[in-house]
């Protein structure tokens, strides 16, 4: 049946999750320790000292998750592989039980008619590699290439969409500069080194994928941002450009063979451990770019200083905020997609994450009537339609997230799911937004 909302028939509607946030089974079947296991078990790093030890127990309940995807008639499921299930110490021979888990998951998805989108890295670096310097250490990029190769060999024949990693900006800067994420460092030079080694790892894994001969599309997922200027004054427009560098061009410029942005190199170039040939590896051509979008912000010009090297500051905005304090501005999604499509020659773009946390409440009949989340999804789906009309090669949309899960430093205190998970019984219970998304997927949501 044809859709009636004007979206192309082959537009992909999916859901996203990540392993540490949903799997649990933190020590089962030979899994090694990742930096997120360590971080979450360090007192006061995560709100309420929550950990991902149990999470949504998807390691055991993956069939329930697939049944939900099937009920939605989702076209695809983007999930991530836990590196330490495959290589407990981040190197060497693979752990068969870990491979079996993802193999079962992929087969189950295919049987349900849901296309598996496999992501190799969603921040849970093996602790053993962290002890050797983690992303500060060039060797971690080589280890990543080895791990990627194992996954290509074992399930390459069954997975048609691959991404190397999720939001390297977060891994580099939240992990090494602000300390909000694992490994919790506060060191600018460490963050800058991580930037280069993450990109090098991405490039090496992409090149290995091409060499493997596997048929499939390969991409990188970023969380770009270009805050809108507070006013039309030229200095604010320039501040908006500068404010986008570390979130956007720092990743897309090298990926598209343009090397690192000059402004960044002028300030931090001496930290960057670039070796001959690296930039060629990093710019191995990709099939698509994944864009994670949650909110937009607004900036104006401010004096440059060591504290504020790019010379901008955020200004207050009027929009309603989600439970994360993130402003709700669907047109910002259209703006960032158009910006990227205009500046970089992307063949295809997918929104690989979009969604919202709200303080859900269960009514007496057990139902979560999350109309705020429904509005959020509807607004952003419309923005995707607008982007397509503007000529953006947008080919799909993935909702974050299928189920409520471990929201990093907020633990289970923030809920993004369209399905609630009872923290005691781990039972899954669709919220009204789940039925909304089912309608949207069927073409009736707008």
CA distance 55 to 408: 11
Kind plus residue range of the DSSP H or E element containing 208:
helix 188-212
Does position 167 interact with ligand FCB (CB under 6 A)? The reply is yes
User: Tokens 């923005």 map to which residue?
Assistant: 383
Q: 362-401 mask for ligand FCB (x: CB under 6 A)?
A: --------------------------------------x-
Q: What's the CA angle centered on 409, arms 408 and 410, to 5 degrees?
A: 90
Query: Running DSSP on this structure, what letter comes out for residue 227?
Result: P
Answer whether 350's CB lies under 8 Å from 395's CB: yes
Structure tokens at 103: 């193999």
Q: Residue 419: which of 11, 61, 25 has the closest Cα?
A: 61
**Nearest distance in Å: CB 103, ligand FCB:** 23
Longest dimension (CA), the chain: 64
Does position 246 interact with ligand FCB (CB under 6 A)? The reply is no
CA distance 341 to 346: 6
Residue among 167, 296, 297, 327 flagged as catalytic = 167
Binds ligand FCB (CB under 6 A): choice among 278, 327, 404, 407: 407
**Nearest distance in Å: CB 122, ligand FCB:** 6
Nearer to ligand FCB, 209 or 408 (CB): 408
Residues 14-33 that bind ligand FCB (CB under 6 A): 18, 21
- Stretch binding ligand FCB (CB under 6 A), from 39-47, 139-147, 165-173, 242-250: 165-173
Residues 292-311 that bind ligand FCB (CB under 6 A): 292
CA distance 351 to 13: 10
Nearer to ligand FCB, 130 or 167 (CB): 167
Q: What's the CA angle centered on 25, arms 17 and 128, to 5 degrees?
A: 90
| Residue 167 designated active-site | yes
Residues 39-78 that bind ligand FCB (CB under 6 A): none
Nearer to ligand FCB, 57 or 131 (CB): 57
Residues 198-227 that bind ligand FCB (CB under 6 A): 223
- Stretch binding ligand FCB (CB under 6 A), from 41-49, 162-170, 253-261, 432-440: 162-170
Residue count, binding to ligand FCB (CB under 6 A): 12
**Nearest distance in Å: CB 396, ligand FCB:** 17
Does position 412 interact with ligand FCB (CB under 6 A)? The reply is no
Binds ligand FCB (CB under 6 A): choice among 58, 127, 163, 166: 166
Residues 6+ apart with CB under 8 A from 128: 32, 33, 88, 89, 90, 91
Nearer to ligand FCB, 35 or 230 (CB): 35
**Nearest distance in Å: CB 175, ligand FCB:** 12
Note if the bond before 183 is cis, omega within 30 degrees. Answer: yes
Answer whether 79's CB lies under 8 Å from 108's CB: no
CA 43 to chain centre: 26
**Nearest distance in Å: CB 145, ligand FCB:** 22
Binds ligand FCB (CB under 6 A): choice among 173, 408, 412, 437: 408
Number of residues that this document lists for the chain: 446
- The beta strands (E) that lie in 38-193 are given as 76-80, 115-121, 161-166
Distance between start and end Cα atoms, the chain: 17
**Nearest distance in Å: CB 160, ligand FCB:** 22
- Stretch binding ligand FCB (CB under 6 A), from 3-11, 164-172, 191-199, 360-368: 164-172
Nearer to ligand FCB, 256 or 408 (CB): 408
CA distance 350 to 337: 9
**Nearest distance in Å: CB 19, ligand FCB:** 10
Answer whether 283's CB lies under 8 Å from 345's CB: no
Interface residues toward ligand FCB, by CB under 6 A = 18, 21, 166-167, 170, 223, 292, 353, 400, 407-408, 416
Catalytic residues: 167, 353
């Amino acid at each position: 049946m044809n859709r009636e909302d004007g979206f192309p028939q082959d537009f992909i509607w999916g859901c996203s999750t990540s392993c540490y946030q949903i799997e649990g089974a933190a020590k089962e079947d030979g899994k090694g320790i990742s930096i997120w296991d360590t971080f979450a078990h360090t007192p006061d790093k995560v709100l309420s000292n929550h950990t991902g030890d149990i999470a949504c127990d998807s390691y055991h309940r993956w069939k329930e998750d697939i049944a939900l995807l099937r009920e939605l008639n989702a076209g695809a499921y983007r999930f991530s592989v836990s590196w330490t299930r495959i290589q407990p110490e981040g190197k060497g021979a693979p752990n068969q039980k870990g491979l079996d888990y993802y193999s079962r998951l992929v087969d189950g998805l295919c049987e349900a008619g849901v296309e598996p989108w496999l992501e190799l890295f969603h921040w849970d670096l093996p602790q053993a590699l962290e002890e050797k310097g983690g992303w500060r250490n060039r060797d971690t990029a080589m280890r990543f290439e080895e791990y990627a190769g194992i996954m290509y060999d074992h399930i390459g024949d069954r997975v048609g969409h691959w991404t190397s990693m999720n939001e390297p900006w977060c891994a580099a800067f939240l992990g090494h500069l602000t300390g909000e994420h694992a490994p919790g460092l506060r060191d600018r030079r460490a963050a800058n080194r991580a930037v280069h080694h993450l990109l090098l790892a991405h490039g090496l894994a992409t090149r290995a994928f091409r060499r493997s001969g596997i048929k499939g599309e390969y991409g990188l997922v970023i969380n770009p941002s270009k805050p809108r200027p507070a006013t039309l004054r030229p200095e604010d427009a320039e501040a908006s450009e500068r404010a986008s560098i570390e979130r956007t061009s720092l990743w897309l410029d090298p990926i598209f063979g343009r090397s690192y942005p000059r402004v960044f190199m002028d300030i931090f170039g001496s930290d960057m451990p670039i070796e001959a040939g690296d930039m060629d590896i990093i710019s191995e051509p990709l099939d698509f770019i994944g864009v994670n979008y949650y909110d937009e912000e607004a900036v104006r010009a401010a004096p440059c200083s060591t504290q504020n090297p790019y010379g901008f500051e955020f200004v207050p905005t009027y929009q309603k905020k989600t439970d994360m304090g993130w402003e709700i501005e669907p047109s910002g999604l259209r703006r960032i997609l158009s910006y990227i499509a205009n500046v970089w020659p992307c063949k295809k773009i997918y929104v690989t994450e979009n969604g919202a946390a709200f303080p859900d409440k269960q009514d007496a009949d057990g139902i979560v009537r999350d109309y705020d989340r429904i509005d959020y999804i509807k607004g952003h789906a419309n923005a995707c339609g607008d982007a397509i009309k503007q000529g953006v090669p947008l080919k799909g949309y993935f909702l974050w997230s299928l189920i409520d899960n471990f929201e990093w430093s907020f633990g289970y205190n923030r809920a993004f799911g369209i399905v609630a998970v009872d923290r005691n019984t781990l039972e899954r219970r669709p919220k009204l937004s789940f039925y909304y998304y089912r309608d949207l997927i069927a073409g009736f949501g707008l």
